[in-house]
Structure 1
């Protein structure tokens, strides 16, 4: 038994309180007492956690034990404190009423020392066991939540590592540069942060998933992928397959970063007016992540030189994107882009 278990004895007859205390005092209990119901309620309401048991007289003036029990059991702060009724009333109606109100036991007056001690010890031990179980359950729940958070964090780090490896492989085998990939990620995350319907979590996801937008190019034959001139119709059809191929490569995972990467890779060549590929999606049929990366990718690709093209000026790129509002690009995203153009220009300067 935990040392100094505290018992509240409530009785309007002081001699009854003394008798109970004398019986229980040698068994490691600490005591409080009240001689009326109002004082008992005040003591318990002030510090309900201090009491392991209440010995409660039934017949008291003004506020009887039944009413005290009722008030304690209807208060969420005090409802778990166990109550044993002390009474000379042993008729079935009184006993039934006491149990119905939430009392755990009855002890009749005059007290029998062995009975009082046995019942008190039993209910104190039960109460402390319940408190300990509740504490342990809370501790286990906190530990489980922490462990779940840790595992999710580790899974996300694993996803980031997978994305990093695949991105490096893409850089080595295509015309995508690490700087381009970083700039697209920064621009995509910035568009998400300015989008009033998206959250910081969306921005986080886009930042880490956007680098995979062209991962499907790994599946395109090198002679087509690195062709210096324009594609003919047959070659372009093969090139377009990089979107669907990427989706097939990544869509096996239910993890949020890889799932987002699959969506982005699949839909970032769709166009607002439905003329894009691979599925000809239109407007909001295109996932918002795909719409965002589509704009970020075009902005960066046009504003930087590639081996087959020279860089456009920022003003030319901005004009191009404005002209394709509601055609290639989500009009709301274009408005965000124009409104915060200086921020996107700063990203474009990353070298």
Structure 2
């Protein structure tokens, strides 16, 4: 145990050291308050106790104690006052400043040894407990991150499985699902209000945008010709079906997928479906996937249509800027068109 002894009388320091050396302690010492504060700041990590006189020149023991306790780096170091003062006011002031004990001079060797042993062992125990708490907290944080990562991986795996099921059950192709995911992530990447975390959420949730089509009758979903009005109404129900399927989840990726599936057919001017949301009433994830889905769908052939040229697709998107699509997203799309075009060729 390392102890700092502070007393303006060197003989008192020597007496205390002679008594305490039986306990295999190491020592620092100071004869002035200012000197003591310098040593405490320098040796804070090694100090286990300060034995502090009250009456000293320049800076008295009260001021030293107050400075030590006000400094977060030294406030935990225990201080025992050693003083010839034995009145109640002095005693009360010492404890009020944060001292752990008070020994009146002249002191008995047994008393000094016993009190020093008690407080140094208590301080060491507190430091060990604090270190154990830090280690436990670190382990808990690591375990939380591990479990969160595992849960997120499980969500991603489940989304991939559902996307695969959707591919087999609907008119969506795996390539379209992949491209919509990458186009959406790129739009999110360039959006000034979205973070890197948002980009990854959009990337992994976007493949679920048409999961509700699994609840649309097969003969309607795969009809080669135009829909009747009744059939089109049934097709328009797939966002609501998706939300019923996914909306009850408390998991981030699944919640995002539910929002995207529910809102990616809404339009900026409020004339979309299923709820007729308008402008920023539509979640940014839904607005992103709405543009990504249309861009990729128009750029590739389907059973009921030929692929459009990239120029025709871009013209369509620009013509529907502010009506079907979010103007800010259209600007991002046009500004980085070469990057989006590259994804459509994958």
1:290 corresponds to: 286
- Could you tell which deviates more after superposition, 289-298 or 99-108? 99-108
TM-score by length of 1: 0.97
1:161 corresponds to: 157
Distance 2:66 2:336 in 1: 63
Query: Residues 44-99 of structure 1, C-alpha deviation per residue, up to 9 Å, x if partnerless?
Result: 01121110000001111222111111111111211111100001100111111111
CA RMSD of superposed structures (Å): 0.9
Distance 1:271 1:62 in 2: 77
2:213 corresponds to: 217
> What residue ranges of structure 2 are gaps of 5+ in the alignment?
none
1:317 matches 2:313: yes
1:302 corresponds to: 298
Distance 2:71 2:51 in 1: 18
1:151 matches 2:154: no
2:345 corresponds to: 349
Trace 1:222-233 onto structure 2 (pairs within 5 A): 222-233=218-229
1:208 matches 2:208: no
Distance 2:66 2:279 in 1: 62
- Which of 116, 121, 141 is matched with 2:117 structurally? 121
Distance 1:7 1:38 in 2: 17
1:35 matches 2:31: yes
- Which of 3, 8, 13 is matched with 1:12 structurally? 8
> What SS is found at the alignment partner of 1:52?
strand
1:333 matches 2:333: no
Distance 2:146 2:279 in 1: 38
Distance 1:221 1:28 in 2: 86
Trace 1:53-64 onto structure 2 (pairs within 5 A): 53-64=49-60
Distance 1:126 1:44 in 2: 19
2:174 corresponds to: 178
Distance 2:98 2:280 in 1: 58
1:108 corresponds to: 104
